[in-house]
Structure 1
Amino acid sequence: MRVPIPESIPPAEELGRVHFVGIGGAGLSGIARVMLGRGVAVSGSDGKASATLDALAALGARVHVGHAASQVGDADTVVVSTAVREDNPEVVEALARGLRVWPRSAALQSVLADRRVVAVAGTHGKTTTTSLLTVALLACGAHPSYAIGGDLTATGVNAAAGSGDLFVAEADESDGAFLVYTPHAAVVTNVEADHLDNWGTEEAYHQAFRDFLARLDPDGFLVACVDDLGAAALAGEARSRGLRVLTVGESAEADLRASSLVFEGSTSSFDVAGPDGPLGRVTLQIPGRHYVLDALCALAAGLELGFAFDELAAGLSSYTGTRRRMERKGEVAGVRVYDSYAHHPKEIAGDLQAARALAGEGRLVVAYQPHLVSRTRLFGAQMGEALGAADEVVVLDVYLAREDPEPGVDGALVARHVPLPPDRVHVAPDRSAVPPLLVSLARPGDLVLTLGAGDVTELGPEVLRLLSALPGEEG
């Protein structure tokens, strides 16, 4: 549901007890974790049990599985996930009692209020770039607070209340949340139309990023990747407004340039040069050109914040990933299984390029779950085209999330546009049939990739279990 943004957003310490409806999600769980770290009383509910709920309970949160009006308890502030429906009993109860009811964006701003914030925005790569910058700053001894849309492998969590003055925050544009924040600096990875269910038109989407510039501290800075036309245009707009801008990319016009890119298995390496000449070489433990550009954005932000190249590069080199971003789930019977969050055509293309490097001589078998009816209606054909980079493709039905189904907007729509022979494209509306299908398709040496922003992530472990049960394999 859409919750109005309050006119005034006091700091978290002034909110009393905060109750999160949908506390198990990536966004709200991170904010709850930061609030708990600052001594704020937190409670919350979610539709199903999870390790995230268990972790928050261990930190002192009062958590519930399922939704009931009584669970609001003695809360003073209620924070609501966009995935929650208006008839949720806890939302109804909070409104009836006249409690402070906030969207996620207001809650995040309440924990950002007294910190020097670097907000990471963009259509693609926000989570990875926020993660890379966080790990790099941790390596520099900066002790930042952070809130990320996925769990860092290095720390095992998606957020923390650090002791330093910096706060690295993933700034989501999908529902306009990033227009609530007032960051010292921003990183924009790219700007390419998405979330048109909210914005309506491509122009409105781009205008939101221009509006985001007005939120920046005039004494701060913007990092933008000029290899992307949308981000390059935004950089030009920022300069016209008198903001300090650092551009990155492989382009000769970039202030911080990557060159001599080498991709070997699960690693990427590249040389970095600034306006005054070469700075050194960076090696990442993740494959793919899009991850190089994300790392370059993080590096530029760290340099502008005053940290040394060598320390930042060492931090980037230590980065071992973020959950659901080309995450290795395991290997059985010579078949490797990975999971990733890509749900937009450009993200699919980038992750399949990275998966190709990982697969080596093996084939790439992909199970893709479209996310949102509106996105599939607009970009379904392009999704299918991007999936053509795989050897075998299984397309699940659309993960509905916050939308209702629509006739003709389904997995078959995507599958029709996959440019592979028909016998290598499989439509699987029955989700339970997908793991055995993937096992039947995969051969030793292949890489199986589950792809999408929905519950397709749960299929990888089942594939590994079925592989373990094959004759000659130990469970």
Structure 2
Amino acid sequence: MVTNVIDKYLKMKIHILGICGTFMGGLAQILVEKGHIVSGSDKQFYPPMSEQLHSLGVEMIEGYKESDLPPADLYVIGNALSRGNPSVEYILNEKLEYTSGPKMLGEMIRDRTVIAVSGTHGKTSTSFLLCEIFQAQGVDVGFLVGGVSDAFKNSARLGTSEYFIIEADEYDSAFFDKRSKFIHYHPNTLIINNIEFDHADIFNDLSDILKQFHHAIRTVPANGHIVFHQDEKNILDLMELGFWSNLHKLGSEGTIQLSFDDGSINFENQKFSIDDLPMHGKHNLKNAVIAMHVAFLHGIHPEHSFAALTNSKGVKRRFETVFQRADKLVIDDFAHHPTAISQTVQAAINYFSSKRILGIIELASNTMSQGYHGQGLYESALNLDKVYWLNLSGKKNQEFEYDSIDLLLNDLQKKIDEFDVILIMSNKDSKKISEPVIDLIKSK
């Protein structure tokens, strides 16, 4: 057990393979705070995680050559690595101590009150909203979130309070542990924002995903909480498989309710106007509501939560304005699924109702680029005035997809004057799109 190894040494030398990912980089932050000496390997290092690791004093090794692998008491192997990797093969051949990141984190936070935020969409946003609520109440909450927010210096911290908020991903833990990451976290409160088919590289169908979510439900104690929106059919189907904890169906009586009829969030006899919140779109408001209710379950009144959310800094790349001038606006959004695309599109149309909107959407996830969503993917953006689809995977699903950024930009140059808002959606490095688009606007 890794717990025994950690307890054995006051200070361990820990090497993380795949350290530049948001989860592993966050884990490095927590390990450093606990007094361990941390180093890490990755294929390449890039901001903002490389800057965060540098500030922590983490030695960064580029590549996975066996000769570059430093000696360590423990190796933490990321889920992007598999058999055949030289470092992995050396660790196995030499019978060195190793574990997965989710397992290690789960063991470190077993004595905390864990709030796990799961679901296909909204995990990062909801996690940071909760962090902002707790922080506004003076609670030094611990967290590990797979994103960046201007409200916090880093994407993770150990914290000194009893609470730990974790973005709970359904992706697998490691090549030697194909269970979803969230199985390791043993939450007191489990948020399930929504469930849809995704990650076609590891799941065959929705039932595979529901099975993993049900494993997570089995780990929530009887005095714990499971929180979700009552209009999510797939979650209701999941609950039919059985649950053993307190269930909170948001929108039902006794919970916090979101009402678009009068533009308010309602709790008991109180109303909070959604116009006072800095977020756009139904999906983001649902994230705010679920964060408020979970905070209430842990002693923070909705009035205080709402006040904190009115000052929310949000999450980088969630409907973020990255360029603005009188005649042009460039918005960057982290979209990885047809539902997320359609929600962002609708939010943009509502917010920029009198403007012409051009979408540039990268099919960056395995599920999107390989065509698993079919025609529904392209229909998710039909309401935009025009859409450019970018697919760099080498497998074009439609003739109108661009397999080169240069080709897309060449065509965009002829049309860009016709639009007021450029909405970029990608779940990879969007700067490779946004920066040349901004340069193109400036050159006009």
Structure 2-normalised TM-score?
0.90
User: Per the alignment, do residues 245 and 145 of structure 1 end up closer, same or farther by CA in structure 2, a change over 3 Å counting?
Assistant: same
Length, aligned pairs only: 432
Structure 2: segments with no counterpart, 5+ residues: 173-179
Q: Which residue of 2 aligns with 1:49?
A: 45
* Distance in 1 of aligned mates of 2:425 and 2:102: 27
- The answer on 1:462 being equivalent to 2:436 is yes
- The answer on 1:451 being equivalent to 2:418 is no
Aligned AA for 1:24? C
- The answer on 1:132 being equivalent to 2:156 is no
Aligned AA for 1:442? I
Aligned AA for 2:211? Q
1:90 CA displacement: 2.3
8 Å CA contact retained: 1:372, 1:398: no
8 Å CA contact retained: 1:122, 1:190: yes
1:289 CA displacement: 0.3
Q: Which residue of 2 aligns with 1:148?
A: 145
1:435 CA displacement: 3.8
* Distance in 1 of aligned mates of 2:62 and 2:349: 40
8 Å CA contact retained: 2:282, 2:343: yes
User: Per the alignment, do residues 152 and 111 of structure 1 end up closer, same or farther by CA in structure 2, a change over 3 Å counting?
Assistant: farther
Find the residue that maps to 2:265 and give its secondary structure.
strand
Aligned AA for 1:48? Q
Find the residue that maps to 1:138 and give its secondary structure.
helix
Q: Which residue of 1 aligns with 2:333?
A: 340
8 Å CA contact retained: 1:21, 1:46: yes
Q: Which residue of 2 aligns with 1:378?
A: 372
Aligned AA for 1:225? H
Q: Structure 2 residue aligned with 1:216, among 214, 220, 226?
A: 220
Find the residue that maps to 1:286 and give its secondary structure.
coil
* Distance in 1 of aligned mates of 2:365 and 2:113: 34
1:443 CA displacement: 2.9
Structure 1: segments with no counterpart, 5+ residues: 1-6, 263-269, 400-404, 417-425, 471-475
Q: Which residue of 2 aligns with 1:259?
A: 259
8 Å CA contact retained: 2:356, 2:418: no
8 Å CA contact retained: 1:22, 1:46: yes
* Distance in 2 of aligned mates of 1:191 and 1:124: 8
Q: Which residue of 2 aligns with 1:186?
A: 190
Q: Structure 2 residue aligned with 1:318, among 301, 308, 311?
A: 311
1:88 CA displacement: 2.6
Aligned AA for 1:23? I
8 Å CA contact retained: 2:200, 2:366: no
Find the residue that maps to 2:125 and give its secondary structure.
helix
User: Per the alignment, do residues 177 and 125 of structure 1 end up closer, same or farther by CA in structure 2, a change over 3 Å counting?
Assistant: same
Q: Which residue of 1 aligns with 2:285?
A: 292
1:296 CA displacement: 0.7
Find the residue that maps to 1:209 and give its secondary structure.
helix
Structure 1-normalised TM-score?
0.84
8 Å CA contact retained: 1:130, 1:169: yes
Deviations 1:159-201 (A, max 9, x none): 1221211000000012211112211111110122222432322
User: Per the alignment, do residues 304 and 390 of structure 1 end up closer, same or farther by CA in structure 2, a change over 3 Å counting?
Assistant: same
Aligned AA for 1:78? Y
* Distance in 1 of aligned mates of 2:32 and 2:392: 35
Find the residue that maps to 2:341 and give its secondary structure.
helix
- RMSD (Å) for aligned C-alpha atoms: 2.4
Aligned AA for 1:292? L
User: Per the alignment, do residues 393 and 204 of structure 1 end up closer, same or farther by CA in structure 2, a change over 3 Å counting?
Assistant: same
* Distance in 1 of aligned mates of 2:415 and 2:108: 48
- The answer on 1:158 being equivalent to 2:155 is yes
Deviations 1:276-301 (A, max 9, x none): 43354453212000001111111110
Aligned AA for 1:126? K
Q: Structure 2 residue aligned with 1:123, among 113, 120, 123?
A: 120
* Distance in 2 of aligned mates of 1:288 and 1:9: 43
Find the residue that maps to 1:377 and give its secondary structure.
coil
8 Å CA contact retained: 1:279, 1:309: no
Q: Structure 1 residue aligned with 2:237, among 229, 233, 244?
A: 233
8 Å CA contact retained: 1:106, 1:180: yes
Q: Which residue of 2 aligns with 1:27?
A: 23
Q: Structure 1 residue aligned with 2:386, among 381, 389, 392?
A: 392
Deviations 1:7-52 (A, max 9, x none): 6655866672221222111111111112112222111122223222
Find the residue that maps to 1:199 and give its secondary structure.
coil
User: Per the alignment, do residues 383 and 162 of structure 1 end up closer, same or farther by CA in structure 2, a change over 3 Å counting?
Assistant: same
Q: Which residue of 2 aligns with 1:248?
A: 250
8 Å CA contact retained: 1:368, 1:450: yes
8 Å CA contact retained: 1:144, 1:164: yes
8 Å CA contact retained: 1:120, 1:170: yes
1:120 CA displacement: 0.5
% of aligned pairs identical?
A: 24
8 Å CA contact retained: 2:2, 2:99: no
Q: Which moved more, 1:449-458 or 1:207-216?
A: 449-458
User: Per the alignment, do residues 358 and 95 of structure 1 end up closer, same or farther by CA in structure 2, a change over 3 Å counting?
Assistant: farther
